[in-house]
Amino acid sequence: MRNWKLPLLLGCFIVQLVINLIFYGFPAIMFSGIVPESLYPKIAWSLPVLIIVYFLLAMASLYYLGISPRPKRGRLLGSAYFAFGALGSAWVILQTLTSTETPLLPIAFGIWFVSSIGGIVSLWLLEEKVPDAVAAAIIAFLGISAFISAATAQWVVTDYYIHVHMNESIPRNATIVVEHPVEMPPPNLTNSS
């Protein structure tokens, strides 16, 4: 029987990579849920940095499992990556079960959770080296994914701080466009016919 552990591990990385490339704001949602609400106003600015570090864990894991074979270090870094993913996705799933969000969000995070658990299991069962070319390709796409997610997170953080500085004078779910205001005349109700 062919070894199933390597394809399972690579599949877990690829599934999460594809989900993040399709829904590029995934880690921002996860970290917004993991960070305690009382601490969030003080460290919200670091959300893009946390996302970059999160993906660096995956990239370093693949590097040590393939290109520079140090499997123990690769397993530890990969386990940290998948553990944060499992914790964050479980938290988001629990939060979305009580809200009226679209069912797509819990489904996508459910897939992320299952692939995180599968990734941890396959990491510790893996006995062979990840092929260099495959590791390099996944690392490159993870880097692109990390950049897109960090840029999206910066937008989320900017929007968050605008809400904070406006003292919640606007609804929490409002999206703020940062631009110079344009003067508009009031509607003329006498000419409406």
Q: What is the pLDDT of residues 109-120, one digit of tens each?
A: 999 999 999 999
Cα–Cα distance for residue pair 61/67, rounded to 1 Å = 10
Cα 158 from Cα 59, distance rounded (Å): 27
What pLDDT does 177 receive?
Answer: 56
- Of the listed ranges 25-39, 54-68, 175-189, the least confidently predicted one is 175-189
Percent of the chain with pLDDT over 70: 80
CB neighbourhood size of 35 (10 A): 17
What is the rounded distance in angstroms from the CA atom of residue 92 to the CA atom of residue 96? Answer: 6
Confidence of residue 160 (pLDDT cuts 50, 70, 90): low
Spell out the domain ranges in the chain.
5-165
Residue 182: helix, strand or coil by DSSP? coil
Question: What pTM was computed for the model?
Answer: 0.78
In angstroms, rounded to a whole number, what is the distance separating the alpha carbons of residues 57 and 82?
Answer: 9
Mean pLDDT in residue range 109-133: 92
Distance of CA 67 to the CA centre of its chain: 25
Per DSSP, the three-state class of 170 is coil
Q: Output 193 or 53, whichever has higher pLDDT.
A: 53
pLDDT at residue 100 above 70? no
- What mean pLDDT comes out for the span 162-180? 57
pLDDT at 102 over 80: no
4 closest CA partner among 140, 128, 117 = 128
Which pLDDT score is estimated for 110? 93
Residue 173 has pLDDT above 80, yes or no: no
What's the rounded mean pLDDT across residues 3-18? 91
Q: What was the pLDDT predicted at 1? A: 42
Average pLDDT over residues 81-93: 92
Higher pLDDT, 29 or 183: 29
Cβ neighbors of 192 (< 8 A, separation 6 or more) are none
